[in-house]
Structure 1
Amino acid sequence: MPRGQRRSRRHAGQTASNGLYIGRFTIPLKLVFYISGHGYGHAVRDIEIIKSLVKIHAEAEIHFRTRAPQWLFAPLLGKRIFYHERELDFGVVQKNSFSADKKATFQRYAALVDQKENLIDRELAFLHSVQPDIILSDITPFAFDAAEAYGKKAVAIGNFSWDWIYTPYLDKFPDYAWVVEDIRSSYVKADRLWRIPFYGDMSAFPSIEDVPLVGRKAQLPAQVVRERLGMAQKGAQKYVLLGLRMSDLAGVEWRGIEKMPLTFVAVSRDIRITNCLHVEEASLPFEDVLHACDAVLSKPGYSIVAEVLVNRTPIVYIPRSDFVEDAYLTAGLAHYAVCEELSQPNFYAGNWRGAFERLFAKPPVWQEIRHDGAEVIAANILRHVN
C-alpha cells in the first residue's frame, strides 16, 4: 500500500466505564517499537503495553527494535510479533547499578551520533519495508529522526529522557554539550509523549499527555508461589528477594548478613550464604516471586518501584549515584510505599539488619496509585491510528 494512503479500520467493541476502548479490531495494525537497551526496565514495561494491546487487537503486527535481551521478549514472539536486535540507544555505561561511567557514556553516544546518518538510513529502509501505522519509542532518540524521515512522527513513552539524564554529567565533561543538544533535537520531532509517573524534566517534547503507572502484577497467589519454591507460609519467617545483579553484590561483606534472622531469595547460586533460598531464574515470573516475598532489596529503578507499588511488597532500597531520576523514584516510594533506605556504605559493609528491622516495624500502609497504564496506552495506540 502506498505510504500516506489511509486504510479503513473496522472494529467491534464498547467503551468501558473508565473510558478505555474494549473490543477487537479486524484490520491488521502494524507497529514498530524502539526500546532503550539500558537495563530491563524499559523493555519490561513496554512488553506489558504490547500484552495489553494484543488483548484488544489480536491481529496487531509488532516489531521490537532494541538491544534489550531477546529472552525478555521470547514469550510474546510469534508469527506476528518480531524481535530485531539494534543498538540505537544504550542508555548509560555502568560497572554496576549504583554509578555511571560518565565519560564512557558520552564517548559511546558520540560514536553513535557519528554514525547517525547511516543508522537513520537503515531504519528508514526498515520502516519502508514494514509500513507501520504507528511508531513508538521508549525513549530512543534516533527513532524520532527515522520516523520523521519516513513521514510519520513517533510517539514517546517514558518517565525520563536521556538529555535530562546526561545534563548533570556536563559539569565534569562540558565538551559534550553538543551530544545533549543532538538528543534534544531528536526528541522535539516527536508527535507527543505519553508520560508515566515519577518523571523529571521532559520539556524537550512538544506535547505531553500523562498516563498511569505501568508495572507487572503477580498472577499467582502468594501461597501457591511459596509452596512451589519450598518457602514457609506467611508468618514469623521473613523472606527477602535480592533484586540485584551479581555485579551489584560484588564487594558485599556477607558475614553479618548470614547472622540475620531472614531468608534471602536469589536466582544466582554464586551467593553462598546459609540463609539463602536459591530459585531457578525461569521457574516463575519475577513479579510472582516478588509478591510472595515479605520484602525486596534493590536499587530504586523504575521497574522495581512500579512492581513494588503494584504488588505491595515492602522495599529496602540502595540509592544510586549519577542518576538524577533517583530523587523522583525514591520520593514516589516514600509517598506510596512501605520502604526504607540503606546507604551504599552500609550495603557493602553488610550492615543490613537495622534497615530491615525498621522496615518490618512499619505499619503496612500503602497509598493508592492508579496502575493501569499499560491498558491506557494500548487504548491510546488504537485511538492514535484510528
Structure 2
Amino acid sequence: MQSLYIAITNHGFGHATRAASVAGMVKKLNPDILLILVTTAPRWLLESYIEGDFIHRPRALDVGVIQSDSLTMDKQETLAKLAEIRTAQYRIIAGEVNFIQTNRISLILGDIPPLAAPIAKTAGIPCWMMSNFGWDFIYRDWGEDFAEIAAWIGDCFSQCDRLFRLPLHESMSAFPHISDVGLTGGTPRFSEEEIRTTFNLIQPRERTILLTFGGLGLQQIPYHKVEEFPDRQFITFDRHAPDFSNLIKIRDRQYRPVDFMPFCDRVVSKPGFSTFSEALRLNIPLVSLSREGFAEASLLELGLKNYGHHQIISPDAFFQGNWEFLLRSPNPPQQTSTLATDGTETIAREIVQYFENMATSKATKLAQSSRP
C-alpha cells in the first residue's frame, strides 16, 4: 500500500479545502493510494472534497493565526502559541516520524505547516508543499517581535524538496525548488436543477447572492440588511443565521460554497485564497471586504482586481453601510490575461506519477535481484 501524508496548517478552513481538493483528485487518479490527512479541520469538511476512504489524524503542527473570527486576529496569543510549538518541535517531529515509519509513508504534502519539512527530512522521505504564501511572510510583516519566529520558519521551509507555488503569491524565497501551478479548488458537483429544486431557489442568477466567510465566519454579520433587498435571494452556510424568507441556510454538509457559485450573481466574502480561487476558476464575480494587518490580503486583492470581476469594500461599508454595492455592477478585470486553473489536477498528477515511478523502480530492483 502506497501512503501519502498530507499535513495541513491549523488555520481556518481554506488550507484544508484546497489540500483536500488535491487529495480528492489523487484518489480519483489512483484509488490505491492511502490518504492520511493530518489536520485539526473537521472530518466532514474533508469528506465534502474527498470521495472514498482516508485516514484523519487530528494533529496541530502549527498555529496559523489565532482568530476569534475571519477578520479579528490576536497577535500576542499567536506569538505565544508559536513559541510553544517551537519549544516542543523535537517531540512533535519524533512522534510524527514514528507514525510515518510505522505506516511506511513515502511522501509528505504540506499546506503549509513549517514542521512538515523537518519531519520529512528526519523520516528520510521527500516533502512537497503547496501554497501562495509562507507563514514567515505573514509574521515578518508583524514586526520585530516575530522576527526570530519568522527566521525559524524560513529555515524549516528551506528543507522542503519542492514547492507548488499557487497564483496570487508572494516570492516564497525560502523555498529552494519552486514549480508554479494554476488555481486549486473543488468542482461543482450538482446541476442547477438539483440545487434549485432542493433549496427552492426561486430567483434568477442575477438576483442571487452567496455570503461565505470561511470556517471562522464573522461575528455580528448584519443579516438585517438582507431584508432590505426583498427582490434578491441570499445563500449562507451560517447555521446560526436568522430565518428570513429570502435567506437560504445550507445545513447539509455534503454541499460546499463552490457548489452554489455557478448559480449566483456574485460571492460576498473576506480575503481568502480558497474562496477567491474557486470563484476565479468559475469566473464568478467577487465582493471582498478589505483586510488590514494580514500580508496575504493585499496579494489577494491585487490578484482579484487583475483577474476577476470584483468589488473591494471596507468593513465599515459591510457592517454599517446600506449594502449599496449590490446595486452596482462589479468592476471588470484589469488584465486581459487569465490565470491557469489546473492547479489541483497538476499537483495530483505529479503525486501519482511519483508513486508510479517508485513502484516501477521497486519492481526493477526486485527483478534485477532475482536474476541468477
- Which TM-score bucket, shorter chain as reference? 0.7 to 0.9
Give the aligned partner of residue 266 of structure 1.
Answer: 236
Say which of 295, 300, 321 aligns to 1:324.
Answer: 295
**Residue 213 in 1 paired to residue 183 in 2?**
yes
Between 239-248 and 54-63, the greater mean CA deviation after superposition: 239-248
Give the aligned partner of residue 296 of structure 1.
Answer: 267
Give the aligned partner of residue 44 of structure 2.
Answer: 71
Aligned-residue RMSD, C-alpha: 2.4
Residues 120-163 of structure 1, C-alpha deviations (whole Å, 9 max, x = no match): 11011111111222111111111111111111231111111000
- Aligned residue for 2:141, secondary structure, equals helix
Structure 1, unaligned runs of 5 or more: 1-27
Give the aligned partner of residue 314 of structure 2.
Answer: 343
Paired with 2:256 and 2:215, the residues of 1 have a C-alpha distance of 19
- Aligned residue for 1:135, secondary structure, equals strand
Identical-pair percentage: 30
Say which of 143, 148, 162 aligns to 2:116.
Answer: 143
Paired with 1:380 and 1:213, the residues of 2 have a C-alpha distance of 15
Give the aligned partner of residue 366 of structure 2.
Answer: none
- C-alpha distance 116-221 of structure 1, shift in aligned 2 (>3 A): same
Give the aligned partner of residue 78 of structure 2.
Answer: 105
Residues 243-290 of structure 1, C-alpha deviations (whole Å, 9 max, x = no match): 026975434445554212422112335332453222324263321122
Counterpart residue type for residue 211 of structure 1: V
Report if aligned partners of 1:223, 1:233 keep a CA contact under 8 Å in 2.
no
Report if aligned partners of 1:190, 1:206 keep a CA contact under 8 Å in 2.
yes
Counterpart residue type for residue 333 of structure 1: L
Give the aligned partner of residue 31 of structure 1.
Answer: 4
Structure 2, unaligned runs of 5 or more: 358-372
Paired with 2:218 and 2:59, the residues of 1 have a C-alpha distance of 29
Aligned residues: 352
Give the aligned partner of residue 280 of structure 1.
Answer: 251
Say which of 200, 212, 215 aligns to 1:230.
Answer: 200
Give the aligned partner of residue 106 of structure 2.
Answer: 133
1:235 Cα deviation from its structure 2 partner: 6.0
Paired with 2:239 and 2:42, the residues of 1 have a C-alpha distance of 21
- Residue pairs, 1:109-258, within 5 angstroms: 109-170=82-143, 174-232=144-202, 234=204, 238-244=207-213, 248-258=217-227
Give TM-score, length-normalised by structure 2. 0.87
- C-alpha distance 146-327 of structure 1, shift in aligned 2 (>3 A): same
- Residue pairs, 1:1-16, within 5 angstroms: none
Paired with 2:199 and 2:337, the residues of 1 have a C-alpha distance of 30
Give TM-score, length-normalised by structure 1. 0.84
- C-alpha distance 366-227 of structure 1, shift in aligned 2 (>3 A): farther
- C-alpha distance 78-265 of structure 1, shift in aligned 2 (>3 A): closer
Paired with 2:84 and 2:348, the residues of 1 have a C-alpha distance of 34
Paired with 1:165 and 1:361, the residues of 2 have a C-alpha distance of 28
Counterpart residue type for residue 328 of structure 1: L
- Aligned residue for 1:99, secondary structure, equals coil
Counterpart residue type for residue 296 of structure 2: E
Counterpart residue type for residue 209 of structure 2: V
Paired with 2:292 and 2:331, the residues of 1 have a C-alpha distance of 28
Report if aligned partners of 2:212, 2:237 keep a CA contact under 8 Å in 1.
no
- C-alpha distance 212-362 of structure 1, shift in aligned 2 (>3 A): closer
**Residue 50 in 1 paired to residue 20 in 2?**
no
Paired with 1:223 and 1:231, the residues of 2 have a C-alpha distance of 10
- Aligned residue for 1:271, secondary structure, equals coil
- C-alpha distance 83-366 of structure 1, shift in aligned 2 (>3 A): farther
Paired with 1:303 and 1:344, the residues of 2 have a C-alpha distance of 20
1:77 Cα deviation from its structure 2 partner: 7.4
Give the aligned partner of residue 343 of structure 2.
Answer: 373
- Aligned residue for 2:328, secondary structure, equals helix
